[in-house]
Structure 1
Amino acid sequence: MEIEGVRTDRLGLLLDQFDQAREMARVRLAGLGDDEYLWEPVPGCWSIRRRDEAVTPRAFGPGEWVLDKGAPDIPASEYAEVVRQAADGMTVAKIADDWSVGVERVEQVLAHTGPPEPDTSPVATIAWRLGHVHSNFEGQWEWTFGERKDPGLLVDFTPSAALALERFWASIDRWRDSVASVTEEQLDTVGFSRYPHSNDAECPYVTVLAGANLEFIHHMAETALLRDLWRTRFTTSG
Protein backbone atom coordinates (compact mmCIF):
# COMPACT_ATOMS: atom_id res chain seq x y z
CA MET A 1 0.00 0.00 0.00
CA GLU A 2 1.21 3.53 -0.75
CA ILE A 3 -0.16 6.87 0.49
CA GLU A 4 1.20 10.00 -1.21
CA GLY A 5 4.48 8.28 -1.96
CA VAL A 6 4.96 6.88 1.56
CA ARG A 7 5.13 3.13 1.97
CA THR A 8 2.98 1.75 4.76
CA ASP A 9 3.50 -1.96 4.17
CA ARG A 10 5.51 -3.88 6.75
CA LEU A 11 8.73 -4.09 4.76
CA GLY A 12 8.43 -0.49 3.64
CA LEU A 13 8.11 0.75 7.21
CA LEU A 14 11.14 -1.25 8.34
CA LEU A 15 13.24 -0.13 5.38
CA ASP A 16 12.29 3.52 5.85
CA GLN A 17 13.19 3.32 9.53
CA PHE A 18 16.52 1.69 8.71
CA ASP A 19 17.29 4.22 5.96
CA GLN A 20 16.68 7.17 8.27
CA ALA A 21 18.86 5.64 10.99
CA ARG A 22 21.57 4.90 8.43
CA GLU A 23 21.55 8.49 7.15
CA MET A 24 21.84 9.90 10.67
CA ALA A 25 24.63 7.47 11.53
CA ARG A 26 26.64 8.42 8.43
CA VAL A 27 26.54 12.06 9.50
CA ARG A 28 27.46 11.26 13.11
CA LEU A 29 30.38 9.03 12.07
CA ALA A 30 31.90 11.45 9.56
CA GLY A 31 35.50 12.41 10.35
CA LEU A 32 36.13 9.60 12.84
CA GLY A 33 39.85 9.33 13.58
CA ASP A 34 41.90 6.42 14.89
CA ASP A 35 42.51 7.85 18.39
CA GLU A 36 38.82 8.54 18.91
CA TYR A 37 37.84 5.17 17.43
CA LEU A 38 40.01 3.33 19.98
CA TRP A 39 39.46 5.71 22.92
CA GLU A 40 38.76 3.96 26.23
CA PRO A 41 36.90 6.53 28.38
CA VAL A 42 37.07 4.38 31.56
CA PRO A 43 39.18 1.44 32.78
CA GLY A 44 37.99 -2.03 31.79
CA CYS A 45 36.48 -1.09 28.43
CA TRP A 46 35.75 -3.66 25.76
CA SER A 47 37.42 -2.85 22.46
CA ILE A 48 39.34 -4.47 19.64
CA ARG A 49 42.84 -5.66 20.56
CA ARG A 50 45.75 -7.55 19.10
CA ARG A 51 45.16 -11.26 19.53
CA ASP A 52 48.00 -11.68 22.04
CA GLU A 53 46.65 -8.78 24.13
CA ALA A 54 43.03 -9.98 24.41
CA VAL A 55 41.58 -9.52 27.91
CA THR A 56 38.23 -11.30 27.52
CA PRO A 57 37.67 -15.08 27.46
CA ARG A 58 35.87 -15.32 24.10
CA ALA A 59 37.49 -12.56 22.03
CA PHE A 60 37.16 -13.49 18.36
CA GLY A 61 38.13 -12.58 14.82
CA PRO A 62 40.07 -14.17 11.95
CA GLY A 63 43.06 -11.83 11.90
CA GLU A 64 45.57 -10.05 14.10
CA TRP A 65 42.89 -7.93 15.78
CA VAL A 66 40.04 -9.47 17.78
CA LEU A 67 36.79 -8.21 19.32
CA ASP A 68 36.35 -8.49 23.08
CA LYS A 69 33.63 -10.87 24.22
CA GLY A 70 32.97 -12.01 27.77
CA ALA A 71 31.63 -15.16 29.34
CA PRO A 72 28.05 -16.10 28.35
CA ASP A 73 25.32 -14.48 30.44
CA ILE A 74 21.83 -13.00 30.23
CA PRO A 75 22.06 -9.24 30.80
CA ALA A 76 19.36 -7.50 32.81
CA SER A 77 18.16 -5.74 29.66
CA GLU A 78 17.21 -9.14 28.18
CA TYR A 79 15.23 -10.54 31.13
CA ALA A 80 11.95 -9.60 29.44
CA GLU A 81 13.00 -11.50 26.32
CA VAL A 82 13.65 -14.62 28.38
CA VAL A 83 10.20 -14.30 29.95
CA ARG A 84 8.70 -13.99 26.46
CA GLN A 85 10.56 -17.08 25.31
CA ALA A 86 9.18 -19.07 28.23
CA ALA A 87 5.66 -17.72 27.61
CA ASP A 88 5.94 -18.81 23.98
CA GLY A 89 6.56 -22.38 25.10
CA MET A 90 10.35 -22.69 25.01
CA THR A 91 11.67 -25.07 27.65
CA VAL A 92 14.15 -23.85 30.22
CA ALA A 93 16.78 -26.13 28.68
CA LYS A 94 16.18 -24.67 25.22
CA ILE A 95 16.36 -21.12 26.55
CA ALA A 96 19.62 -21.97 28.33
CA ASP A 97 21.02 -23.35 25.10
CA ASP A 98 19.86 -20.26 23.22
CA TRP A 99 21.78 -17.96 25.60
CA SER A 100 24.72 -20.37 26.12
CA VAL A 101 24.18 -20.38 29.89
CA GLY A 102 23.22 -22.99 32.47
CA VAL A 103 19.67 -23.96 33.33
CA GLU A 104 20.17 -22.46 36.80
CA ARG A 105 20.81 -19.02 35.29
CA VAL A 106 17.59 -19.16 33.26
CA GLU A 107 15.62 -20.24 36.32
CA GLN A 108 17.14 -17.31 38.25
CA VAL A 109 16.03 -14.86 35.56
CA LEU A 110 12.52 -16.32 35.37
CA ALA A 111 12.19 -16.14 39.17
CA HIS A 112 13.22 -12.49 39.28
CA THR A 113 10.52 -10.10 40.49
CA GLY A 114 10.39 -6.39 41.22
CA PRO A 115 12.36 -3.63 39.48
CA PRO A 116 14.90 -4.63 36.82
CA GLU A 117 18.44 -5.20 38.04
CA PRO A 118 21.03 -2.60 37.05
CA ASP A 119 22.79 -3.20 33.73
CA THR A 120 26.44 -4.02 34.46
CA SER A 121 27.61 -4.46 30.88
CA PRO A 122 31.13 -3.07 30.32
CA VAL A 123 31.58 0.30 28.65
CA ALA A 124 32.68 -0.28 25.05
CA THR A 125 34.73 1.79 22.65
CA ILE A 126 33.54 3.06 19.29
CA ALA A 127 35.76 0.41 17.72
CA TRP A 128 33.94 -2.30 19.67
CA ARG A 129 30.48 -0.99 18.85
CA LEU A 130 31.20 -0.73 15.14
CA GLY A 131 32.83 -4.16 15.17
CA HIS A 132 29.94 -5.69 17.09
CA VAL A 133 27.28 -4.27 14.78
CA HIS A 134 29.34 -5.14 11.69
CA SER A 135 29.78 -8.71 12.91
CA ASN A 136 26.06 -9.12 13.63
CA PHE A 137 24.95 -7.80 10.25
CA GLU A 138 27.56 -9.85 8.39
CA GLY A 139 26.46 -12.95 10.27
CA GLN A 140 22.76 -12.38 9.72
CA TRP A 141 23.31 -11.64 6.03
CA GLU A 142 25.49 -14.74 5.61
CA TRP A 143 22.95 -17.00 7.33
CA THR A 144 19.99 -15.55 5.42
CA PHE A 145 21.26 -14.75 1.93
CA GLY A 146 24.74 -16.29 1.86
CA GLU A 147 26.59 -19.57 2.31
CA ARG A 148 26.32 -19.84 6.13
CA LYS A 149 30.03 -19.49 6.85
CA ASP A 150 31.49 -19.44 10.36
CA PRO A 151 30.19 -16.19 11.93
CA GLY A 152 33.41 -15.70 13.87
CA LEU A 153 35.48 -15.47 10.69
CA LEU A 154 33.42 -12.98 8.68
CA VAL A 155 34.83 -9.64 9.84
CA ASP A 156 38.54 -8.78 9.83
CA PHE A 157 38.75 -6.19 12.60
CA THR A 158 41.14 -3.28 12.16
CA PRO A 159 42.62 -0.42 14.23
CA SER A 160 42.07 1.92 11.27
CA ALA A 161 38.86 3.93 11.67
CA ALA A 162 38.72 4.77 7.97
CA LEU A 163 39.09 1.14 6.89
CA ALA A 164 36.62 -0.07 9.52
CA LEU A 165 34.01 2.43 8.32
CA GLU A 166 34.59 1.54 4.66
CA ARG A 167 33.98 -2.14 5.42
CA PHE A 168 31.12 -1.36 7.80
CA TRP A 169 29.12 0.73 5.32
CA ALA A 170 29.69 -1.79 2.53
CA SER A 171 28.21 -4.50 4.78
CA ILE A 172 25.30 -2.32 5.91
CA ASP A 173 24.45 -1.33 2.32
CA ARG A 174 24.57 -4.95 1.15
CA TRP A 175 22.25 -5.91 3.99
CA ARG A 176 19.80 -3.20 3.04
CA ASP A 177 19.81 -4.17 -0.66
CA SER A 178 19.17 -7.83 0.15
CA VAL A 179 16.41 -7.09 2.64
CA ALA A 180 14.65 -4.91 0.06
CA SER A 181 14.13 -8.02 -2.11
CA VAL A 182 12.35 -10.04 0.61
CA THR A 183 8.81 -11.13 -0.25
CA GLU A 184 5.70 -10.99 1.93
CA GLU A 185 5.82 -14.77 2.24
CA GLN A 186 9.44 -14.67 3.38
CA LEU A 187 8.61 -12.01 5.98
CA ASP A 188 6.27 -14.52 7.61
CA THR A 189 8.64 -17.48 7.27
CA VAL A 190 9.92 -18.86 10.56
CA GLY A 191 13.59 -19.74 10.13
CA PHE A 192 14.18 -17.72 6.97
CA SER A 193 17.26 -16.53 8.87
CA ARG A 194 19.32 -19.28 10.48
CA TYR A 195 21.92 -17.08 12.19
CA PRO A 196 23.19 -19.31 15.02
CA HIS A 197 24.13 -16.57 17.51
CA SER A 198 20.50 -15.57 17.98
CA ASN A 199 16.99 -16.99 18.12
CA ASP A 200 16.37 -16.05 14.46
CA ALA A 201 15.60 -19.62 13.48
CA GLU A 202 12.57 -19.63 15.80
CA CYS A 203 11.14 -16.31 14.58
CA PRO A 204 9.20 -14.99 11.58
CA TYR A 205 11.65 -12.98 9.51
CA VAL A 206 9.72 -9.73 9.98
CA THR A 207 10.56 -9.84 13.71
CA VAL A 208 14.22 -10.53 12.87
CA LEU A 209 14.28 -7.36 10.75
CA ALA A 210 12.66 -5.33 13.51
CA GLY A 211 15.29 -6.60 15.93
CA ALA A 212 18.10 -5.78 13.49
CA ASN A 213 16.82 -2.21 13.20
CA LEU A 214 16.78 -1.89 16.99
CA GLU A 215 20.33 -3.25 17.23
CA PHE A 216 21.57 -0.76 14.65
CA ILE A 217 19.75 2.23 16.14
CA HIS A 218 20.77 1.74 19.75
CA HIS A 219 24.45 1.07 19.00
CA MET A 220 24.67 4.04 16.64
CA ALA A 221 23.12 6.24 19.35
CA GLU A 222 25.70 5.02 21.85
CA THR A 223 28.47 5.68 19.34
CA ALA A 224 27.19 9.21 18.77
CA LEU A 225 27.29 9.86 22.53
CA LEU A 226 30.88 8.60 22.70
CA ARG A 227 31.77 11.05 19.94
CA ASP A 228 30.22 13.88 21.97
CA LEU A 229 32.18 12.83 25.06
CA TRP A 230 35.42 12.64 23.04
CA ARG A 231 34.86 16.11 21.61
CA THR A 232 34.29 17.64 25.05
CA ARG A 233 36.65 15.47 27.11
CA PHE A 234 39.02 18.32 28.07
CA THR A 235 36.35 20.89 28.90
CA THR A 236 35.36 21.70 32.47
CA SER A 237 32.54 23.73 33.92
CA GLY A 238 33.45 27.20 35.12
Structure 2
Amino acid sequence: MTTLSQDLLDLSDFAWQRLRHRVEGLTDEEYLWEPFDGCWSIRKTEAGYVADGTPIPPEPAPFTTLAWRITHIVDILQEDRTATWFGHQPLAEDGQPPVPASAADALAALDHAYAVWRYRLAALSPEDLGRAMGEVAGPYAEHAGSSFALHILDELIHHGAEVGTVRDFYRGAHPEDPFAAAIAGELTPAERPALLAEAAAAHRWDVITQLADLGFGVDERTANGFTAAHLAAGTGSLDTLRFLVGRGADLSVTDPRFNADVLGWAKWFKHADAIAYLESL
Protein backbone atom coordinates (compact mmCIF):
# COMPACT_ATOMS: atom_id res chain seq x y z
CA MET A 1 0.00 0.00 0.00
CA THR A 2 1.39 3.40 -0.97
CA THR A 3 1.67 6.33 1.40
CA LEU A 4 0.03 9.72 1.02
CA SER A 5 3.44 11.21 0.22
CA GLN A 6 4.01 8.73 -2.61
CA ASP A 7 0.48 9.18 -3.95
CA LEU A 8 1.00 12.95 -4.14
CA LEU A 9 4.36 12.52 -5.83
CA ASP A 10 2.98 10.03 -8.35
CA LEU A 11 0.08 12.34 -9.22
CA SER A 12 2.45 15.27 -9.57
CA ASP A 13 4.77 13.35 -11.91
CA PHE A 14 1.85 12.15 -14.02
CA ALA A 15 0.45 15.67 -14.43
CA TRP A 16 3.91 17.06 -15.18
CA GLN A 17 4.74 14.47 -17.83
CA ARG A 18 1.42 15.13 -19.55
CA LEU A 19 2.08 18.88 -19.60
CA ARG A 20 5.69 18.47 -20.73
CA HIS A 21 4.61 16.38 -23.71
CA ARG A 22 2.00 19.02 -24.60
CA VAL A 23 4.53 21.84 -24.85
CA GLU A 24 7.06 20.03 -27.05
CA GLY A 25 7.78 21.95 -30.24
CA LEU A 26 6.50 25.28 -28.89
CA THR A 27 7.58 28.23 -31.04
CA ASP A 28 7.97 31.89 -30.15
CA GLU A 29 5.08 32.82 -32.43
CA GLU A 30 2.75 30.40 -30.68
CA TYR A 31 4.08 31.28 -27.23
CA LEU A 32 3.16 34.94 -27.71
CA TRP A 33 0.02 34.42 -29.84
CA GLU A 34 -2.85 36.78 -28.92
CA PRO A 35 -6.00 35.59 -30.70
CA PHE A 36 -8.26 38.31 -29.24
CA ASP A 37 -8.11 41.95 -28.25
CA GLY A 38 -7.41 42.49 -24.58
CA CYS A 39 -5.43 39.30 -23.95
CA TRP A 40 -3.21 39.08 -20.92
CA SER A 41 0.33 38.13 -21.90
CA ILE A 42 3.89 39.12 -20.99
CA ARG A 43 5.23 42.57 -21.88
CA LYS A 44 8.73 43.95 -22.26
CA THR A 45 9.52 46.84 -19.92
CA GLU A 46 12.68 48.72 -19.01
CA ALA A 47 13.09 46.35 -16.09
CA GLY A 48 12.58 43.23 -18.21
CA TYR A 49 9.53 41.16 -19.05
CA VAL A 50 6.49 41.24 -16.75
CA ALA A 51 3.18 39.42 -16.85
CA ASP A 52 -0.07 41.32 -17.21
CA GLY A 53 -2.28 41.35 -14.16
CA THR A 54 -4.09 43.29 -11.46
CA PRO A 55 -4.65 42.53 -7.77
CA ILE A 56 -8.37 42.09 -8.51
CA PRO A 57 -8.79 40.51 -11.98
CA PRO A 58 -11.63 41.79 -14.16
CA GLU A 59 -14.71 39.66 -14.64
CA PRO A 60 -14.97 37.86 -16.91
CA ALA A 61 -11.25 37.17 -16.85
CA PRO A 62 -9.27 38.05 -19.99
CA PHE A 63 -8.05 35.33 -22.32
CA THR A 64 -4.47 34.51 -21.31
CA THR A 65 -1.73 33.58 -23.78
CA LEU A 66 0.57 30.60 -23.54
CA ALA A 67 3.28 33.01 -22.36
CA TRP A 68 1.07 34.16 -19.49
CA ARG A 69 -0.11 30.66 -18.58
CA ILE A 70 3.34 29.08 -18.60
CA THR A 71 4.78 31.98 -16.60
CA HIS A 72 1.98 31.44 -14.08
CA ILE A 73 2.72 27.72 -13.77
CA VAL A 74 6.42 28.47 -13.26
CA ASP A 75 5.53 30.96 -10.53
CA ILE A 76 3.13 28.58 -8.78
CA LEU A 77 5.65 25.73 -8.63
CA GLN A 78 8.80 27.70 -7.80
CA GLU A 79 7.61 30.45 -5.48
CA ASP A 80 8.97 30.38 -1.94
CA ARG A 81 5.67 29.38 -0.34
CA THR A 82 5.90 25.84 -1.77
CA ALA A 83 8.69 25.46 0.80
CA THR A 84 7.84 27.91 3.57
CA TRP A 85 4.19 26.95 4.01
CA PHE A 86 5.36 23.43 4.82
CA GLY A 87 7.84 24.73 7.39
CA HIS A 88 10.88 24.36 5.10
CA GLN A 89 13.25 26.92 3.60
CA PRO A 90 14.03 27.39 -0.10
CA LEU A 91 17.52 26.44 -1.24
CA ALA A 92 19.75 29.14 -2.68
CA GLU A 93 19.90 27.31 -6.01
CA ASP A 94 16.10 27.27 -6.29
CA GLY A 95 16.12 30.88 -7.45
CA GLN A 96 13.09 33.04 -8.08
CA PRO A 97 10.47 32.39 -10.78
CA PRO A 98 11.35 34.22 -14.02
CA VAL A 99 9.13 35.65 -16.75
CA PRO A 100 10.46 33.75 -19.79
CA ALA A 101 10.86 35.93 -22.88
CA SER A 102 10.84 33.12 -25.46
CA ALA A 103 9.50 29.62 -26.00
CA ALA A 104 12.92 28.08 -25.38
CA ASP A 105 13.30 30.07 -22.16
CA ALA A 106 9.80 29.01 -21.13
CA LEU A 107 10.53 25.30 -21.50
CA ALA A 108 13.78 25.66 -19.57
CA ALA A 109 11.97 27.61 -16.84
CA LEU A 110 9.23 24.98 -16.65
CA ASP A 111 11.79 22.19 -16.28
CA HIS A 112 13.58 24.03 -13.48
CA ALA A 113 10.39 25.04 -11.68
CA TYR A 114 9.11 21.47 -11.70
CA ALA A 115 12.44 20.15 -10.44
CA VAL A 116 12.23 22.63 -7.54
CA TRP A 117 8.63 21.69 -6.71
CA ARG A 118 9.30 17.96 -6.99
CA TYR A 119 12.27 18.17 -4.65
CA ARG A 120 10.22 20.09 -2.13
CA LEU A 121 7.26 17.72 -2.38
CA ALA A 122 9.46 14.63 -2.05
CA ALA A 123 11.09 16.11 1.07
CA LEU A 124 7.80 16.39 2.97
CA SER A 125 7.33 14.07 5.91
CA PRO A 126 3.97 12.68 7.07
CA GLU A 127 4.15 15.26 9.86
CA ASP A 128 4.62 18.09 7.34
CA LEU A 129 1.52 16.95 5.48
CA GLY A 130 -0.58 16.30 8.55
CA ARG A 131 -0.04 19.39 10.70
CA ALA A 132 -1.70 22.79 10.36
CA MET A 133 0.48 25.19 8.37
CA GLY A 134 0.18 28.03 10.87
CA GLU A 135 0.53 31.77 10.60
CA VAL A 136 2.74 31.69 7.48
CA ALA A 137 -0.28 30.48 5.49
CA GLY A 138 -2.44 33.47 6.42
CA PRO A 139 -6.15 32.66 6.12
CA TYR A 140 -5.24 29.00 5.56
CA ALA A 141 -3.37 28.69 8.87
CA GLU A 142 -5.60 25.90 10.14
CA HIS A 143 -5.35 23.87 6.94
CA ALA A 144 -3.10 20.82 6.86
CA GLY A 145 -0.04 20.73 4.64
CA SER A 146 -1.69 18.05 2.52
CA SER A 147 -4.42 20.50 1.52
CA PHE A 148 -1.82 22.94 0.23
CA ALA A 149 0.03 20.19 -1.67
CA LEU A 150 -3.27 19.25 -3.31
CA HIS A 151 -3.90 22.90 -4.16
CA ILE A 152 -0.55 23.17 -5.98
CA LEU A 153 -1.31 19.94 -7.86
CA ASP A 154 -4.72 21.31 -8.83
CA GLU A 155 -3.02 24.42 -10.19
CA LEU A 156 -0.55 22.30 -12.19
CA ILE A 157 -3.32 20.10 -13.57
CA HIS A 158 -5.86 22.71 -14.55
CA HIS A 159 -3.39 25.26 -15.93
CA GLY A 160 -1.63 22.46 -17.77
CA ALA A 161 -4.97 21.54 -19.35
CA GLU A 162 -5.44 25.18 -20.38
CA VAL A 163 -2.02 25.16 -22.06
CA GLY A 164 -3.01 22.09 -24.05
CA THR A 165 -6.29 23.67 -25.09
CA VAL A 166 -4.62 26.88 -26.30
CA ARG A 167 -2.19 24.78 -28.32
CA ASP A 168 -5.19 23.04 -29.90
CA PHE A 169 -6.73 26.44 -30.72
CA TYR A 170 -3.48 27.60 -32.29
CA ARG A 171 -3.15 24.47 -34.40
CA GLY A 172 -6.72 24.87 -35.62
CA ALA A 173 -6.11 28.49 -36.56
CA HIS A 174 -2.77 27.68 -38.26
CA PRO A 175 -3.41 24.39 -40.06
CA GLU A 176 -0.46 22.56 -41.57
CA ASP A 177 -0.06 19.20 -43.26
CA PRO A 178 3.46 17.90 -42.66
CA PHE A 179 2.56 14.65 -44.41
CA ALA A 180 1.74 16.45 -47.65
CA ALA A 181 4.92 18.49 -47.27
CA ALA A 182 6.97 15.30 -46.95
CA ILE A 183 5.31 13.69 -49.96
CA ALA A 184 6.03 16.87 -51.95
CA GLY A 185 9.71 16.61 -50.98
CA GLU A 186 9.62 19.64 -48.67
CA LEU A 187 10.31 17.66 -45.49
CA THR A 188 12.91 14.92 -45.14
CA PRO A 189 13.41 12.03 -42.69
CA ALA A 190 16.46 13.84 -41.32
CA GLU A 191 14.34 16.87 -40.51
CA ARG A 192 11.42 14.97 -38.93
CA PRO A 193 12.37 11.33 -38.39
CA ALA A 194 9.22 10.35 -36.47
CA LEU A 195 6.78 11.56 -39.14
CA LEU A 196 5.52 8.10 -40.05
CA ALA A 197 4.69 7.41 -36.40
CA GLU A 198 3.02 10.82 -36.21
CA ALA A 199 0.90 9.87 -39.24
CA ALA A 200 -0.24 6.74 -37.40
CA ALA A 201 -1.02 8.80 -34.29
CA ALA A 202 -3.14 11.11 -36.48
CA HIS A 203 -4.86 8.05 -38.06
CA ARG A 204 -3.54 9.12 -41.45
CA TRP A 205 -3.27 5.54 -42.65
CA ASP A 206 -3.49 6.75 -46.25
CA VAL A 207 0.03 8.23 -46.19
CA ILE A 208 1.91 5.48 -44.32
CA THR A 209 3.01 3.63 -47.47
CA GLN A 210 4.24 6.79 -49.19
CA LEU A 211 6.16 7.95 -46.13
CA ALA A 212 7.85 4.58 -45.80
CA ASP A 213 8.81 4.66 -49.48
CA LEU A 214 10.37 8.08 -48.86
CA GLY A 215 12.58 6.67 -46.11
CA PHE A 216 10.67 7.63 -42.97
CA GLY A 217 11.44 4.92 -40.44
CA VAL A 218 8.78 2.41 -39.43
CA ASP A 219 10.28 1.97 -35.96
CA GLU A 220 10.52 5.64 -35.02
CA ARG A 221 8.41 6.76 -32.06
CA THR A 222 6.01 9.59 -31.38
CA ALA A 223 6.74 12.05 -28.57
CA ASN A 224 4.76 9.69 -26.31
CA GLY A 225 6.97 6.75 -27.27
CA PHE A 226 4.55 4.86 -29.54
CA THR A 227 5.57 3.25 -32.82
CA ALA A 228 3.30 3.11 -35.85
CA ALA A 229 2.88 -0.63 -35.26
CA HIS A 230 1.65 -0.02 -31.70
CA LEU A 231 -0.90 2.45 -33.01
CA ALA A 232 -2.03 0.27 -35.91
CA ALA A 233 -2.53 -2.70 -33.57
CA GLY A 234 -4.26 -0.57 -30.96
CA THR A 235 -6.72 0.87 -33.48
CA GLY A 236 -7.28 -2.40 -35.35
CA SER A 237 -5.84 -1.00 -38.60
CA LEU A 238 -4.98 -4.43 -39.95
CA ASP A 239 -3.91 -3.42 -43.47
CA THR A 240 -1.43 -0.90 -42.07
CA LEU A 241 -0.20 -3.43 -39.52
CA ARG A 242 0.43 -5.99 -42.28
CA PHE A 243 2.30 -3.36 -44.30
CA LEU A 244 4.51 -2.39 -41.34
CA VAL A 245 5.33 -6.02 -40.61
CA GLY A 246 6.25 -6.45 -44.27
CA ARG A 247 8.62 -3.50 -43.94
CA GLY A 248 10.34 -5.13 -40.99
CA ALA A 249 8.72 -3.29 -38.09
CA ASP A 250 10.03 -4.43 -34.71
CA LEU A 251 7.05 -5.92 -32.91
CA SER A 252 8.92 -6.63 -29.70
CA VAL A 253 9.53 -3.03 -28.62
CA THR A 254 7.54 -1.82 -25.63
CA ASP A 255 6.12 1.64 -25.10
CA PRO A 256 6.91 3.78 -22.03
CA ARG A 257 3.30 4.35 -20.99
CA PHE A 258 1.91 0.82 -20.87
CA ASN A 259 5.16 -1.16 -21.14
CA ALA A 260 3.46 -3.31 -23.79
CA ASP A 261 4.65 -4.69 -27.12
CA VAL A 262 2.59 -4.52 -30.31
CA LEU A 263 0.62 -7.69 -29.54
CA GLY A 264 -0.04 -6.33 -26.05
CA TRP A 265 -1.67 -3.27 -27.61
CA ALA A 266 -3.88 -5.40 -29.83
CA LYS A 267 -4.96 -7.44 -26.80
CA TRP A 268 -5.54 -4.44 -24.54
CA PHE A 269 -7.76 -2.73 -27.11
CA LYS A 270 -9.46 -6.04 -27.98
CA HIS A 271 -8.87 -6.15 -31.75
CA ALA A 272 -9.38 -9.83 -32.50
CA ASP A 273 -8.20 -9.69 -36.14
CA ALA A 274 -4.97 -7.94 -35.17
CA ILE A 275 -4.42 -10.42 -32.32
CA ALA A 276 -4.94 -13.41 -34.63
CA TYR A 277 -2.62 -11.95 -37.26
CA LEU A 278 0.18 -11.15 -34.83
CA GLU A 279 -0.08 -14.53 -33.11
CA SER A 280 0.19 -16.25 -36.50
CA LEU A 281 3.58 -14.69 -37.28
SS at match of 1:136: helix
Q: Does 1:65 align with 2:49?
A: yes
User: Using a 3 Å threshold, how does the CA distance of structure 1 residues 147 and 33 change in structure 2: closer, same or farther?
Assistant: same
Task: Kindly provide the amino acid, as one letter, of the partner of residue 30 in structure 1.
Answer: E
* TM-score, scaled relative to structure 2: 0.55
Match of 2:149 among 188, 194, 209: 209
In the alignment of these two chains, the number of paired residues is 170
Whether contact under 8 Å (2:77, 2:116) holds in the other structure is no
User: Which one-letter code corresponds to 2:102 in the other structure?
Assistant: S
1:20 alignment counterpart? 14
2:4 to 2, 7, 10: 10
Are 2:154 and 1:231 aligned? no
Q: Which runs of no fewer than 5 residues in structure 2 stay unpaired?
A: 176-281
In the alignment, the residues of structure 1 paired with residue 167 and residue 141 of structure 2 have an alpha-carbon distance, to the nearest angstrom, of 35
SS of the counterpart of 2:12? helix
Q: Aligned pair in 2 of structure 1 residues 160, 200: CA closer, same or farther (>3 Å)?
A: farther
Give the letter aligned to residue 215 of structure 1: E
State yes or no: 1:146 paired with 2:89: yes
With 18-27 and 154-163 compared, the bigger mean Cα shift is at 154-163
User: Residue deviations 1:145-179, cap 9 Å, x none?
Assistant: 33599xxx932313211112102211111211221
The structural deviation recorded for 1:142 is: 5.0
- Structure with the greater alpha carbon radius of gyration: 2
Give, as a single letter, the amino acid of the residue that structure 2 aligns with 1:120: P
30, 38, 45: which one pairs with 1:36? 30
Q: Deviations over 1:185-228 (max 9, x none)?
A: 110122279367xx454421100000100000000000001001
Unaligned runs of 5+ in 1: 53-62, 76-118
- TM-fit CA distance, 1:41: 1.4
Q: What is aligned with 1:137?
A: 77
Answer whether contact 1:143 1:193 (CA < 8 A) is retained: no
Measured in 1, the distance between the counterparts of 2:113 and 2:40 equals 22
**SS class of match (1:232):** helix
In the TM superposition, what are the counterparts of 1:1-238 in structure 2 within 5 Å? Answer: 2=1, 7=2, 9-51=3-45, 63-72=47-56, 120-139=60-79, 140-144=81-85, 145-147=88-90, 154-191=96-133, 194=136, 199-234=139-174
Q: What RMSD over aligned residues (CA atoms) do the two structures have, in Å?
A: 2.5
Are the aligned partners of 2:49 and 2:99 in contact in 1 as well (CA < 8 Å)?
yes
Give me the whole-angstrom Cα distance separating, in 1, the residues matched to 2:118 and 2:165.
25
Partner residue, 2:180: none
TM (normalized to structure 1)? 0.64
* Native 8 Å contact 2:43 2:52 kept in 1: yes
Larger RCO (CA within 8 A; separation ≥ 6)? 1
The residue type paired with residue 133 of structure 2 is: G
Equivalent residue of 2:136, what SS?
coil
Paired AA for residue 146 in structure 2: V
Identity %: 31
* Aligned-partner residue type, residue 32 of structure 2: L
